[in-house]
Amino acid sequence: MIIAIDGPSGAGKSTLGRMLARELKLLYIDTGSMYRAVALAVLESSINADDDIAVGSLASRVDIELAGDPDSMRVTLEGEDVTDRIRDEDVTHTSSIVSTIPAVRRAMVKRQRELGQRGAVMNGRDIGTVVFPDAMVKFFLTADLEERAERRLAEEREHNPSATYEETLEDITDRDRRDTTRADSPLVAADDAIVIDSSGQSIEEVFQRMMTFVREKADSVDG
Ligand code: DC
């Protein structure tokens, strides 16, 4: 069983993905953290993030592991725990650039298919369109730009107390533009995705709506 959750930054994908994985006893795979780990590997090397060939080659050989249960997932890069480091601003920015490189995407998609083969709740930008086009349920989660920026700011302030709303709004607008306009696997809702706008709704409300869709789908598959 694959449950795909795609959508722009700050729409609530991680929180809801974790909740669904816990409820359904499935693996939770946050594919954004893999692009973030590639970005960190680039920052720690002498490679320039715009050098498609060198970044693509690095992405295909770098050792990235995701482990642990939905609430305590750890990300390691070459055996080192980078779970917190990949949330820093420089990594966030670079991940948005390296994820536009086709060779990077190919390397990550291959790993994501392997990781998900026994079933998972997987979130990202291209799960329902590219990684698992036959996913049992596909959600496309979105929310107003301003609301997404507010949510991202609250998260960011945990690491960086001086983060401002204006900077976060600008950053999220920039990332939306890169996600939706890149040539390879742009962010778009799959034709058969359930589009949920979470603006003005509590996480619990959205979670219940998503669970209703999952149960209906599971019932129709069973029989
Ligand atoms: O979801 P996130 O913010 O942690 O993702 C980090 C970056 O990776 C973001 O700029 C979009 C990109 N990404 C992607 O292109 N495809 C995915 N499946 C997941 C993330």
Residue of 35, 64, 110, 180 best suited for mutating to test ligand 1, as the one with most atoms within 8 Å of CB: 35
DSSP β-ladder status, 137-142 and 194-197? parallel
DSSP β-ladder status, 27-30 and 120-124? parallel
Longest dimension (CA), the chain: 55
Centre of ligand 1 to C-alpha 113, Å, is 16
pLDDT at 18: 95
pLDDT at 223: 66
Domain ranges of the chain: 2-222
pLDDT at 222: 76
Instruction: Spell out, as residue ranges, where the chain has pLDDT lower than 50.
Output: none
Q: Is 193 buried (19+), middle (13-18) or exposed (0-12) by CB count in 10 A?
A: buried
Q: Is 220 buried (19+), middle (13-18) or exposed (0-12) by CB count in 10 A?
A: exposed
Of 139, 160, 98, 124, the C-alpha closest to 9 is 124
* Domain 2-222: which CATH number of 3.20.20.70, 3.40.50.300, 3.40.50.150, 3.40.50.720: 3.40.50.300
For residue range 85-103, list pLDDT tens digits in order. 998 889 999 999 999 999 9
Q: Is the CB of 148 under 6 A from ligand 1?
A: no
pLDDT at 71: 80
Of 219, 27, 221, the C-alpha closest to 123 is 27
pLDDT at 221: 83
As a whole number of angstroms, the distance between CA 9 and CA 15 comes to 12
Centre of ligand 1 to C-alpha 202, Å, is 23
pLDDT at 155: 85
Nearest residue by C-alpha to atom 11 in ligand 1 = 96
Atom of ligand 1 nearest to the CA of 6: 18
DSSP 194: E
Nearest residue by C-alpha to atom 6 in ligand 1 = 32
State whether the Cα torsion 150-152-156-162 is positive or negative. negative
Q: Is the CB of 105 under 6 A from ligand 1?
A: no
Residue of 31, 86, 106, 127 best suited for mutating to test ligand 1, as the one with most atoms within 8 Å of CB: 31
Q: Is the CB of 111 under 6 A from ligand 1?
A: no
As a whole number of angstroms, the distance between CA 71 and CA 21 comes to 9
State whether the Cα torsion 186-188-192-193 is positive or negative. positive
